[in-house]
Structure 1
Amino acid sequence: MGSSDKSQEQCLYKEWMRLQEQELSELLHHHSLNLNNTTDDTNDAEMTQLLEKIIQHFQDYCDNRRRLAHSHVSAFFSPTWCTTLENSMSWIAGCRPSSFFNLVYALCGSNIDSRLSHFLRATHDRYCFTTMHTKRTTSYGDRLVLIEQNIKIHSDGNNSDFPKLSASQLSAIDKLQRRTMIEEEMLTAQMASLQQHMADMPLALIARGLSPRHELNPDVKKGLGKIEQAMHSAMHDADNLRLNTVKELCKILKPLQALEYIIAAKKLRLCIQSWGIQRDREHHGD
């Protein structure tokens, strides 16, 4: 990869992170205005428009990454322009889409163990048995739906600790999470197979027959080219999964919920970068 290519990739990343800061400021400003405005329909329309713009920026970023990756896709899997902390958390040149759901549950305060304890104390023994059985046999989102339904029956409706998400939203998020994790696992398996292929035929035999200088001859270039092509395809699929997961989540959430979610996601992303910079400085004694 030429220095100009590396410079373009690094510039793209820096521009993207600057955009995160700009968008976060815009989101926080809009959120503060929303708290003082009671015109729900107008607010929802404005928030939806803002969220669509931000998602389009994400789409543009993925498209630009894909274009630059044609010249040297390996660089995106271990980018020198990111911190070691960021790289250690990377999954196929980005974040895991399944982590998006952890943030949703964290924001709505969905600590399943504490809610089960509350539920068990507040309900009849038959509900206790049902919930304990459900905890063993159903998913995280489904358990939250059951807990919400039964706590509503046995509470006065003023439980401020309960998640803001409705039962139908939790169910929809759970279904999306299941689909996302299946696709994520398939891509993970593809990458594992690709990495195993590095030690497989014909590269293994080529390496065995090379001189100590390990020259990059035409046969090696051909073999590596096929692997890089597969890596580019995997990165493309992973980016699409990340993008589509965010889109689907924002459709399930109400505009204000989606706004708060994107704010939290951008704060987390910027914090990870900042923490990574600080940790790298500590390790290098700067």
Structure 2
Amino acid sequence: MGSPLGQFYLEWLDHLHLTANQLLSSTTKPLPSPDHLPLLISRFLMQYFDYYRVRSLAADHDIVSLLSTPWCTPLERSLHWIGSWRPTMVFHLVYTESSILFESHIIDILRGYRTGDLGDLSPSQLRMVSDLQCETVREENEINDELGEWQEAGACDLLLTISGVTDVQVFRLAEAVKKADELRLKTVRRVVELLTPRQAAEFLVSVAEMEFGARGLGMKYSQLSATSA
């Protein structure tokens, strides 16, 4: 937990939490101006990208910590793919949130009213989201293929054996981690581009809640384990 990246991560989560709360509030209250919501979305994305820019720099200096993420709980790490969340997880967020909102407004939608939220995705939006999901799956698989012998052993074995590999192999691993982070960011950005500002705000709140939810549950389970030990 004492690493600079770990401290940055915790501070980043706090700032992201504040911006996510502002986004959530903006979807339920009148906006002070038409530009207010797009500005909040831009602020959220800038904060989100900041963490992964720092990770990219860290990949060149401490790839073991970046992959093992000692600042995260065991539950968080169990959900990781190459040091963080799997890019295709965002599509599950879109579909889940869309289904929940659709069911809550189904009477209005059947009557022809447009709710304008994630439950009101158009057929063309759904098609584009599906196409992007297929593209993201392909890119995930390509990164897995690039890892080659690293991925065959699994992340745990990798961390145990990395001290015995060459500088070239460590460089290749760092580049694979950077590509994974770039794919995470690109996926979030492109989903936002397919949505209206209100839909994008709801989507980004769900992305933030994915981070907070895993963190909160992980802390809870860790405390219970420590108490029962």
TM-score, normalised on structure 2? 0.82
Q: Please say which structure displays the higher CA radius of gyration.
A: 1
- In the alignment, residue 280 of structure 1 is paired with which amino acid? S
For structure 2, the residue ranges without an aligned partner over 5 or more in a row are 104-108, 155-160
Question: How many Å separate the matches in 1 of 2:223 and 2:82?
Answer: 26
Cα 1:67–1:108 change in 2 (3 A) is: same
- The answer to whether the 8 Å contact 1:78/1:93 transfers is yes
Which runs of structure 2 are paired with 1:110-149 in the superposition (5 Å)?
none
Provide the aligned C-alpha RMSD in A.
2.9
Question: How many Å separate the matches in 2 of 1:268 and 1:79?
Answer: 17
Question: How many Å separate the matches in 2 of 1:268 and 1:58?
Answer: 13
Cα 1:197–1:24 change in 2 (3 A) is: closer
- In the alignment, residue 11 of structure 1 is paired with which amino acid? Q
- State which of 155, 158, 167 in structure 1 corresponds to 2:123: 167
- State which of 254, 259, 262 in structure 1 corresponds to 2:204: 262
Question: How many Å separate the matches in 2 of 1:156 and 1:53?
Answer: 36
Which runs of structure 2 are paired with 1:176-195 in the superposition (5 Å)?
176-195=132-151
For structure 1, the residue ranges without an aligned partner over 5 or more in a row are 115-151, 199-206, 208-215
Which contiguous aligned blocks of 4+ residues in structure 1 show a shift greater than 3 angstroms? 155-160, 195-198
CA-to-aligned-CA distance 1:108-153 (integer Å, 9 cap, x gap)? 117xxx9xxxxxxxxxxxxxxxxxxxxxxxxxxxxxxxxxxxxx9x
Which runs of structure 2 are paired with 1:1-286 in the superposition (5 Å)?
7-33=3-29, 36-37=30-31, 42-43=33-34, 45-109=35-99, 157=112, 163-196=119-152, 220=164, 223-285=165-227
Question: How many Å separate the matches in 1 of 2:152 and 2:144?
Answer: 12
Deviation at 1:159, TM superposition (A): 10
Question: How many Å separate the matches in 2 of 1:32 and 1:67?
Answer: 38
- The answer to whether the 8 Å contact 2:6/2:71 transfers is yes
User: Identical aligned pairs, as a percentage?
Assistant: 25
**Aligned pairs, number:** 213
Deviation at 1:57, TM superposition (A): 1.7
Cα 1:168–1:68 change in 2 (3 A) is: same
